[in-house]
Amino acid sequence: MPSLRQYTATLLLPSAFFGYALYANSALLTNAASPAAQASEARNLSLSYVMDGEATRDLDTLYKNELPHRAASVGLFGNARYALLGAGRKGVVVGDDGWFFTAEEFKTVSPSDIDDAVQRIVEVKRELEARGIQLVLAPLPAKSDLYAEDVPSLVRSAAMADAYRDFSTALQKQGIIVADTRATMLTAKPFGDVFLKSDTHWSPAGANAAAEAVQSSLQLSGIDLAPQDLTAQWQTPVTLWGDLTKFVTSPDYAPTVGLAEESVPIYRTRVSEAASGADIFGDDSSVPVMLVGTSYSANENWSFADFLRQSLQADVVNVAKEGLGPGVPMMDLLAGSTLDETDPTVVVWEFPVRYLGTKTLWQRDGETKTEGGNV
C-alpha cells in the first residue's frame, strides 16, 4: 500500500511542474504585452503571418529569450551533459583534458576549394605588386591539427593537416611567399600551449611563433625592411572565458564542472618616437608592414601585431577585422584608400585554413557573389 510520502510526491511533483509552467507562461505574456515590447516590434497578425511560419519562429524566439530561469536551465543542463557524457552542444567537439575544438575544423577541404582560394590570392598578389607591395601569406593551422592527440579518436583526422600542406604547396607554386606557421608553432608547442584550451584562437605563444615564421619567410625571400627602434613590455594578463565554453555550459555554472577562465598575458610593442618616421615637416603616415586577416590578428588580446612588430623590427599597421573570415578584410582593403594612405612595403595576410571552402570566404553573408578576377 502506498505510503503518505509516496502520495505526497505523486501529487506534489505534477503540481510543481504545472505551477511553474503557469508562472513561466504568465511571465512571458506579461513581457510580451508590455508597452516596451509592443513598441519595439509591431506584428501584422494576418493569416500569412501564421501560415508562413513567422508566428512559430517568433514564439520560439520568445521562449528562448524570455523564459524565466532560462540561463540557469542552460547552465545546469550543460553541466550535466558535460559531466555525464563529456559532450557539448552542436558546434563544439569536446576533447581530452579540457580541450575544446570548433566543429568547423572537422571537415575535408576539397582540391577545388584550395584551387579557388589560390586563384583569388594570386589576383590579390598581382594587384598589390602593381602598387609596389609584396604579399606574404601566413596560413594558420587548425587547432585540431596541432592538438590531434587531444581530439576524440572517433573524429580524429588528418584532413586539416592535409589542407594546410596542400594549400601552402599550391601557393608556393604560384610564386607566393608563404610563412610556415605550422612548423614554428609545432616547435614552440613543447614550451607552452600555442592555442587556448577553451577557445578557437591561438595563445600569445602561438601568435609569437607565427610572427617568427613571417620574419623567416621575409628573410628567405630577400625582403629587407629598415630596422626601427622599438619599446616592448609585458602587461597584466587578462582573464576571459573561451568562446567555445558557451557551447558546453554558461560561464556562471562552468566552474562547478572544473572549467575555468583563460589567463592571457598581454605583450605590447611600439616604435619609439625617434624612429617613428616623423620629419621636420610633419608626420610621415607610411608604415612598412600592414597586417590583414581575422580575429587572430584583430583581437589585441593575442598580441599578434605586437609580436610581428617585434620579430620584424618594423612598425605594423593592423587592419584585420573580426567576424568576417580572412577574405572579406582583404577585399575591403583593396577597395578602400588605406593602402594609398599608408603606402606599406609588405602586406602580411593571416589566413586560417579552416575557412577554406566556406561560403562567405570572399563576401559578407547576403552579398552577391563576386566573380573571379574582380578583386
Catalytic annotation present for 201: yes
Catalytic residue among 295, 297, 303, 311: 295
> Using CA atoms, how far apart are residues 324 and 32, in angstroms rounded to an integer?
34
How far apart, in Å, are the Cα atoms of 217 and each of 257, 270, 303? 44, 22, 20
Catalytic annotation present for 3: no
| Cα-to-chain-centroid distance, residue 84 | 28
27-31 long-range Cβ contacts below 8 angstroms, 24+ apart: 27/66, 27/67, 27/68, 28/62, 28/63, 28/66, 28/67, 31/66
Catalytic annotation present for 113: no
| Phi, psi dihedrals of residue 153, rounded to the nearest 5° | -60, -30
Catalytic residue among 113, 145, 166, 199: 199
For residue 140, give the C-alpha cell.
Answer: 594558420
> Using CA atoms, how far apart are residues 351 and 171, in angstroms rounded to an integer?
12
Catalytic residue among 144, 201, 217, 311: 201
For residue 222, give the C-alpha cell.
Answer: 630577400
Active site residues: 199, 201, 295
